[in-house]
Amino acid sequence: MVAWIEELIELNPATGEEKVTYTLIGLRGMDFEVGEFPPEF
């Protein structure tokens, strides 16, 4: 499957820390969160 990774950086207002979430997007139009770590291929 051909897919690409979208990196989302969210700022936590409580602690001021950044949370990086990697989202894997496939060709079928489905996207799902794979966690706070980059997916392994």
**3-class DSSP state of 23:** strand
Sort 20 into a burial class: Cβ within 10 Å, 0-12 / 13-18 / 19+: exposed
pLDDT for 1-41, tens place per residue? 455 667 777 777 788 787 776 666 654 545 555 555 555 54
Which residues have a Cβ under 8 Å from the Cβ of 34 and sit 6 or more positions away?
Answer: 22, 23, 24
d(CA 35, CA 18) in angstroms, rounded, equals: 14
- Give the pLDDT score at 26: 57
* Reported pTM: 0.28
Q: How confident is the model at residue 23, as a pLDDT?
A: 66
pLDDT of residue 34: 53
